[in-house]
């Protein structure tokens, strides 16, 4: 297992961790200044911006772009809306390619009819794949914690995500493993081993107790209950050698702090708790 202590260049920062309190250019500068090796950005940060100049800024700063967040939900009540969702994701894939992102994060959505939503998700990913191949951006399917099954994702376990990968059978589709979403699963070791060669990203944060707001009260690594090093060992044993990315949604704590403070603490925690 890699030693992350003193190696922030092996770590990336998802810009959501910093609370969207500054321009994307300021975010790039702060992350580079702290010594990290990469970053992940969000579509909302591209609004009204010139993507090419953002991409150039990132390259000039020596940063990798791990991922581009995130897909528009696939499931829809009408065929027209489903097709519009897929089309919007094609647009996002082009943006990801312009940014030089390694992958496009698929947070897939859900619906009252879970089985129907799952079928639409599989079909939608299948429709994106030719575009992903043409653009050279991988699709990183991210299973979310089951607490989001009603609204954000009908894909709620790594086993289920891998079944979708198996079904579509394309090397441009893999999985994104986020400890916050998967730590509870008694079968996670078995399923991470099964994911060998298909792990496109590894996200870290922590699960606080009591969890409170399940969406926007994620903890900094070390402040919660997740055994992150154990999960990282599994992921690296399964061949993952990419950057380890911190992604913390925290309206009441980390998002209120100056960016440099959050980045400094994250850097320490990467070395001690990841």
**3-class secondary structure, 11:** strand
Nearest of 126, 111, 104 to residue 73 by alpha carbon: 111
Interface with its own copies, residue 77, by CB under 8 A: no
Rounded CA-CA distance 196/126 in Å is 21
At residue 256, φ and ψ (nearest 5 deg) are -90, -5
Interface with its own copies, residue 50, by CB under 8 A: no
Q: Which is nearer to its own copies, 145 or 203 (CB)?
A: 145
Interface with its own copies, residue 218, by CB under 8 A: no
Interface with its own copies, residue 160, by CB under 8 A: yes
Contacts of 138 (CB under 8 A, 6+ apart): 102, 103, 104, 132, 172, 173, 174, 200
Q: Which is nearer to its own copies, 79 or 112 (CB)?
A: 112
Q: Which is nearer to its own copies, 36 or 148 (CB)?
A: 148
Interface with its own copies, residue 193, by CB under 8 A: no
Single out the residue of 15, 156, 205, 250 in contact with its own copies (rule: CB under 8 A): 156
Q: How far is the CB of 190 from its own copies (least distance, A)?
A: 11
| Contact criterion met (CB below 8 Å) for 111 and 117 | yes
Q: How far is the CB of 193 from its own copies (least distance, A)?
A: 15
Whether the ω angle into residue 80 lies within 30 degrees of 0, i.e. cis, is no
Which alpha helices (DSSP H) does the chain contain, by range? 24-33, 51-60, 79-99, 114-135, 158-168, 179-182, 188-194, 228-237, 259-273
Q: Applying CB under 8 A, which part among 10-18, 92-100, 223-231, 246-254 lies near its own copies?
A: 223-231
Q: Applying CB under 8 A, which part among 153-161, 191-199, 239-247, 252-260 lies near its own copies?
A: 153-161
Number of other residues whose CB lies within 10 A of the CB of residue 9 = 15
Q: Which residues of 120-139 are buried (b: 16+ CB within 10 A; e: fewer)?
A: bbbebbebbbebbeebebbb
Instruction: Quickly tell me which residue has 């950005």 as its tokens.
Output: 41
Interface with its own copies, residue 151, by CB under 8 A: yes
Single out the residue of 55, 61, 129, 211 in contact with its own copies (rule: CB under 8 A): 211
Q: Number of C-alpha atoms within 13 angstroms, CB side, residue 85?
A: 24
Single out the residue of 87, 214, 237, 260 in contact with its own copies (rule: CB under 8 A): 214
Interface with its own copies, residue 46, by CB under 8 A: no
Single out the residue of 3, 47, 79, 186 in contact with its own copies (rule: CB under 8 A): 186
Q: How far is the CB of 8 from its own copies (least distance, A)?
A: 27
Single out the residue of 154, 158, 175, 200 in contact with its own copies (rule: CB under 8 A): 154
Single out the residue of 15, 17, 118, 250 in contact with its own copies (rule: CB under 8 A): 118
Residues of this chain that interact with its own copies (CB under 8 A) are 112-114, 118, 145-147, 149-151, 154-157, 159-160, 163, 183-187, 207, 209-211, 214, 224-225, 227
């Amino acid at each position: 297992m890699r030693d992350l202590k003193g190696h922030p260049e092996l770590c990336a920062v998802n810009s959501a961790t910093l609370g969207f309190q500054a321009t994307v250019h300021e975010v790039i500068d702060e992350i580079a200044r702290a010594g990290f090796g990469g970053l992940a950005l969000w579509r909302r940060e591209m609004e009204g911006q010139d993507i090419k100049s953002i991409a150039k800024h990132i390259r000039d700063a020596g940063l990798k772009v791990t991922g581009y967040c995130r897909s528009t939900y696939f499931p829809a009540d009408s065929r027209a809306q489903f097709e519009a969702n897929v089309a919007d994701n094609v647009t996002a894939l082009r943006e990801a390619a312009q940014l030089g992102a390694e992958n496009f994060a698929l947070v897939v959505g859900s619906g009252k009819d879970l089985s129907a939503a799952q079928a639409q998700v599989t079909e939608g990913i299948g429709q994106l794949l030719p575009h992903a191949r043409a653009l050279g951006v991988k699709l990183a399917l991210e299973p979310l914690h089951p607490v989001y099954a009603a609204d954000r994702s009908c894909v709620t376990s790594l086993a289920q995500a891998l079944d979708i990968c198996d079904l579509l059978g394309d090397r441009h589709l893999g999985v994104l493993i986020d400890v916050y979403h998967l730590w509870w699963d008694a079968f996670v070791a078995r399923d991470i081993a099964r994911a060998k060669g298909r792990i496109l990203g590894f996200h870290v944060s922590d699960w606080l107790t009591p969890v409170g707001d399940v969406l926007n009260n994620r903890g900094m690594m070390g402040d919660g209950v997740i055994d992150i090093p154990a999960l990282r060992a599994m992921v690296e044993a399964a061949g993952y050698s990419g950057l380890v990315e911190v992604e913390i949604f925290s309206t009441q704590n980390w998002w209120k702090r100056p960016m440099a403070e959050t980045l400094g603490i994250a850097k320490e925690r990467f070395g001690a708790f990841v």
